[in-house]
């Protein structure tokens, strides 16, 4: 009697591939590791792509803030110079009324102006505007248009204050909310006896983000002729 011999073959699998039945498990492990690396790389790319614009936006906001402070400081410095010019002009108007018959208006006005700014030299530490109330800002009740920085201690080193009235504000030293800005006005003689010239420098300083900034405005004043 002949013995029946049965043979079979796995559908879709040849005999040569039977020894590789465990390969898919190893391949799955390899694919899992590669996917983790891809995820880490993707996260790093996303982080960099987000952090860059955020850093740029932060720098832009900081630059805008500094520019705004510089604009305010420039206005305060210009105000200081114009204030000293107004002191000179005010003395001329006063002398004009007093000396209308003598003809010594220019000389008298200049001498009075020099008395007003005598404590404002760089050597003496400079001065600051002496503002009065809201309705009568020049001069204050003391009648002294410029206050020496040495008067009352570190008056010029203390920040200016901003007093609001509706939507308008005025910077001063006594009323309102403290600001970032300090201001010193110096008046020094740079001319000669024949050609008297007083150089006015208004320096405004402030500190923001750990950095100190300065803005100054300069003008030369001469006697009215």
Does 46 have pLDDT greater than 90?
Answer: no
pLDDT at 135: 47
Residues in CB range of 147: below 8 A, 6 or more apart: 127, 128, 129, 130, 155
Residue 101: pLDDT band by 50, 70, 90 thresholds?
A: low
Domain ranges of the chain: 47-221
d(CA 81, CA 39): 63
More confidently predicted of 27 and 155: 155
CB 182 within 8 A of CB 171: no
d(CA 81, CA 204): 11
Express each pLDDT in 109-162 by its tens digit. Answer: 899 899 989 989 999 989 988 765 444 444 444 567 888 887 654 468 888 888
Residue 24: pLDDT band by 50, 70, 90 thresholds?
A: low
């Amino acid at each position: 009697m002949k013995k029946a011999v049965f043979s079979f073959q796995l559908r879709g699998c040849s005999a040569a591939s039977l020894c590789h039945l465990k390969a898919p498990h190893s391949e799955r492990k390899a694919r899992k590791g590669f996917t983790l690396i891809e995820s880490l790389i993707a996260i790093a790319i996303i982080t960099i792509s987000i952090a860059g614009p955020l850093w740029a936006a932060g720098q832009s906001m900081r630059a805008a803030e500094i520019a705004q402070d510089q604009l305010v400081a420039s206005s305060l410095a210009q105000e200081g110079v114009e204030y000293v010019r107004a002191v000179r002009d005010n003395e001329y108007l006063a002398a004009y009324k007093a000396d209308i018959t003598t003809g010594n208006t220019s000389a008298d006005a200049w001498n009075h102006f020099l008395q007003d700014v005598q404590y404002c030299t760089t050597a003496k530490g400079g001065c600051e505007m002496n503002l009065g109330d809201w309705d009568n800002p020049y001069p204050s009740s003391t009648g002294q248009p410029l206050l020496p920085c040495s008067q009352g201690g570190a008056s010029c080193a203390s920040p200016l204050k901003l007093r609001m009235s509706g939507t308008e504000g005025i910077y001063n030293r006594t009323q309102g909310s403290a600001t970032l800005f300090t201001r010193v006005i110096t008046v020094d003689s740079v001319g000669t006896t024949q050609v008297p010239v007083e150089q006015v420098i208004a320096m405004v300083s402030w500190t923001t983000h750990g950095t100190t900034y300065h803005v100054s405005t300069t003008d030369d004043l001469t006697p009215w002729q």
